[in-house]
A and B are shown apart, each in its own frame.
Chain A
C-alpha cells in the first residue's frame, strides 16, 4: 500500500513526531489544577500573571551594540524614543574578554573593535552611555559573561550614585549566563565555571540585600539554541545552570530558597522557527521551573512564576531575499506573545548581512508594537490554553526536558558536564544534525534551499548594509590613554589591591568592585585581578 501524504511522518523542528490531528484522548491525563491552573497561579503553565498583557504588555527591548560608546548612546536614545525600553547592550568582544584596548590581543585587532558590540571599558564609558538617561527610569541589561557581570553591576550602581537614584528603584536583569559564555561563544582564558559561580553567588546575595527590582541572574538558552540544539535541550540546560547557582547560594548557609527565588526566576529563551513548538516550550518551561523548585528545594509555589525574555531566532533569518525575514520575525513575535513572554527582542531583517541598521531596528520595535496594539492578542491570557495539540505538545516538551536534565545530573551536574566538555559534545551532535537537515532540504528555508530564485540573476534587494564605526577601536584606545592620565592612579592601585584581597577571601566582591569602578579602574585591570586570583579555563576544541 502506498503511503498517503497524511500518513507520512511529520515532526516538529526539534524532532517530535506529530499526528495530523489531536483530540481529547491526547490530553486525558491532564489535571487542570495540577498541570495548568489559572494564569498567575502555580504551576504557571498559563502565564506568570493573572491578567497578563491587560495589566502589563511585554517589554520591547532592542539589543544593540556597535561602534564607539558614543554611537551606542545615540542608538539607545533612538530605540527609547521609538518606544523601546531601556538599555540592552551588547559589548565588544574585548569587553567580554575583560581586556583593555592596549592588550596585545586587542591591539592586533583594533579595527574589529565596535563591529559586533561597543567597547565599554570603564565607568567613564558607562557615564557616556547613561548621559541623559535616568538609570532609575530605564530597564538595564548589559550582556556579559559570569566573570564580567559583577563588574557590570558595580558600574551600574556607581551610575545610580552619581545620578542620585535610589537602589530601590533600579530595575534590570543581570546577564551572566554560563551557557553563552562557556558553550555557545566561549572566549579564551575565562574564569573557570566553578569559580565564576562564586562571583554570581555574590551578585545574588548583594541583590537580595539592596536591589529589590533587579534580577541578578538570567539563564540563557537563546545562544545555545542558536547553535542548532533542540527546544528541550535549551530549557533543560538553563535549569541545570540554575540548579548549580541555587546550590552555590544555599551552600553559603545565609539565605533560604524563598529569600532569593524571585530574583533568579528569569530566563532568556529563543522563539525559533516552529511556531507551536516554541509556544509549547515557553509554557512547559514555566511549569517545569515551578515543579523543579518545589520538588528539589521545597520553595513556596506562589513565588515560582518564571518570567521570560524571548528573542526571536537570528539563525532562522535568511541572507537570501532578506526582506522575507520581516515575515519570519513577525510570526516569532506572535509565538512569544501566545507563549506568555514578558519581554521581546525581535531580530532585524538585515541580521544575516550585518549588525542591524537603524531602519531595521525600528521595524523590529514596530513589529512588536503592531502585535500589541493592532492584533488583539493581548486581550486574553493564554488564549491557546486547552488546545488539544498545544497542551499535548507542552507535555511532550516538558517530558523531554526532564529527561535531558536527568542526563546532565548523571554527569555530576551542570558544572561537571560543562567543564568535562560533555555538554559541548552533546550539542555538537544537535548542531550537525540540524545542519544536515538544512543541507538535505528536510529543513526548508524559503528562498534559501527551497524555492530559490534560480534565474541566474543576482538578488536585487538593495539596502546599505550597516557597518560599525571603523574608528571605534582607535577612539576607545585614545580614551583609555586619556583616562589613565587623568585619574588618580594611587587610588586605582589601592582599589585593585583591595579587590585582590576580597577575591581571595570569602567577602562579597560587589562593594570592592564598586570602589574600583569609582576609582576609574578599567575592565582589563579588573579582569587581570580575576585571572590572577581565579583559575582560568578554555572551552574544549571539538574541531
Chain B
C-alpha cells in the first residue's frame, strides 16, 4: 500500500512515437476511478520517463508497449542507476504470452496484455505500489 492518506500517483507513459491513445486513456480512467492520481507522458524516451517520475514523485510507472522492449530495459537500468528501484513498473499492450516472463525477469512487476480486466490492474497497483519504498524506510529507521 502507498503512503497513508496520500493517493497513489501513477505516470502512464508511451515510449514510442506512436500516438494511439485508447489504451492509456481507458487505463487512466480506471486508475482515477479507484482514487489514484495519474500523469501522462507522451513520446518520452526512457531518460525522460525517469526524470518525469522524479519530478512528479510518482509511485508507479505504467508503460504502454508495442513491439520491442529495449526502452523498458533502458528505463529499468536508469531507475536502478538513479536509486529509483522503489518505483513499481507495470506494462500493458500487445505483448505475446511468451514475452510475459521475459518482462517480469527484466523487472516489470505487472504485465497486462489485451483483455486484462481493469479491476485486475487497479488491484495489482493498490497491493504493490509503494511496497519497496516502505521497506526501504523501515530499513533506515
Contact A543 B17 (CB under 8 A): no
Answer whether A111 and B98 are a contact pair too, CB < 8 Å, given A185-B19, A319-B113, A543-B21: no
A226 sits at the interface (CB 8 A): yes
B18 sits at the interface (CB 8 A): yes
DSSP majority for the A interface? loop
Contact A228 B22 (CB under 8 A): yes
B84 sits at the interface (CB 8 A): no
A138 sits at the interface (CB 8 A): no
Chain B residues within 8 Å of chain A by Cβ, number: 35
Contact B115 A185 (CB under 8 A): no
Question: How far is it, in angstroms, between the C-alpha of A432 and the C-alpha of B32 when the chains are bound?
Answer: 13
Contact A187 B94 (CB under 8 A): no
Q: A residues 414-452 with Cβ under 8 Å of B?
A: 428, 431-432, 435, 439, 445, 448-449
Contact A353 B94 (CB under 8 A): yes
A352 sits at the interface (CB 8 A): yes
Q: A residues 210-252 with Cβ under 8 Å of B?
A: 226-228
Q: Separation in Å of the B120 CB from the closest CB of chain A?
A: 10
Taken residue by residue from 85 to 109, chain B's Cβ proximity to chain A (1 for < 8 Å, 0 otherwise) reads as 0000000001011110000000000
Residues in B neighbouring A533, C-beta threshold 8 A: none
Q: Quick one: closest B residue to A96, CB to CB?
A: B17
Contact A439 B20 (CB under 8 A): no
Residues in A neighbouring B18, C-beta threshold 8 A: 93, 116, 185
Residues in B neighbouring A486, C-beta threshold 8 A: none
Contact B20 A184 (CB under 8 A): yes
Contact A448 B15 (CB under 8 A): no
Contact B22 A93 (CB under 8 A): no
Contact A112 B40 (CB under 8 A): no
Contact A465 B98 (CB under 8 A): yes
Q: Quick one: closest A residue to B66, CB to CB?
A: A116
Residues in A neighbouring B28, C-beta threshold 8 A: 543
Q: Quick one: closest B residue to A459, CB to CB?
A: B97
Answer whether A439 and B17 are a contact pair too, CB < 8 Å, given A115-B66, A116-B66, A227-B22: no
Q: Quick one: closest A residue to B67, CB to CB?
A: A115
- A-B pairs with CB below 8 Å: how many? 105
Contact among B17, B40, B99 for A94, CB-based, below 8 A: B17
Answer whether A458 and B97 are a contact pair too, CB < 8 Å, given A226-B22, A320-B115, A435-B26: yes
Question: How far is it, in angstroms, between the C-alpha of A493 and the C-alpha of B65 when the chains are bound?
Answer: 38
Taken residue by residue from 287 to 328, chain A's Cβ proximity to chain B (1 for < 8 Å, 0 otherwise) reads as 000000000000000000000000000000011100000000
Q: Separation in Å of the B9 CB from the closest CB of chain A?
A: 14
Residues in A neighbouring B113, C-beta threshold 8 A: 319, 352
Residues in A neighbouring B67, C-beta threshold 8 A: 112, 115-116, 355, 467-468
B134 sits at the interface (CB 8 A): no
Contact among A106, A184, A449 for B17, CB-based, below 8 A: A106
Contact among A93, A227, A468 for B16, CB-based, below 8 A: A93
A1 sits at the interface (CB 8 A): no
Contact among B70, B99, B115 for A111, CB-based, below 8 A: B70
Contact A352 B115 (CB under 8 A): yes
Contact A188 B94 (CB under 8 A): no
Which of B12, B67, B96, B113 counts the most chain A CB atoms within 10 A?
B67
Taken residue by residue from 467 to 507, chain A's Cβ proximity to chain B (1 for < 8 Å, 0 otherwise) reads as 11010000000000000000000000000000000000000
Taken residue by residue from 21 to 38, chain B's Cβ proximity to chain A (1 for < 8 Å, 0 otherwise) reads as 110111011000000001
Q: B residues 53-96 with Cβ under 8 Å of A?
A: 66-68, 70-71, 94, 96
Question: How far is it, in angstroms, between the C-alpha of A115 and the C-alpha of B96 when the chains are bound?
Answer: 14
Contact A105 B115 (CB under 8 A): no
Residues in B neighbouring A320, C-beta threshold 8 A: 115
Contact A445 B115 (CB under 8 A): yes
The 7 A-B pairs at the shortest CB distance, nearest first, are namely A115-B67, A465-B96, A93-B17, A543-B40, A111-B70, A319-B114, A108-B45
Give 14 CB contacts A-B under 8 Å.
Answer: A93-B18, A106-B17, A108-B45, A112-B16, A112-B68, A185-B20, A186-B19, A187-B19, A228-B22, A449-B115, A465-B96, A465-B99, A542-B25, A543-B40
Seen from chain A, the residues whose Cβ lies within 8 Å of a Cβ on chain B are: 93-94, 96-97, 99, 105-106, 108-109, 111-112, 115-116, 184-188, 226-228, 318-320, 351-355, 428, 431-432, 435, 439, 445, 448-449, 458-459, 465, 467-468, 470, 539, 541-543
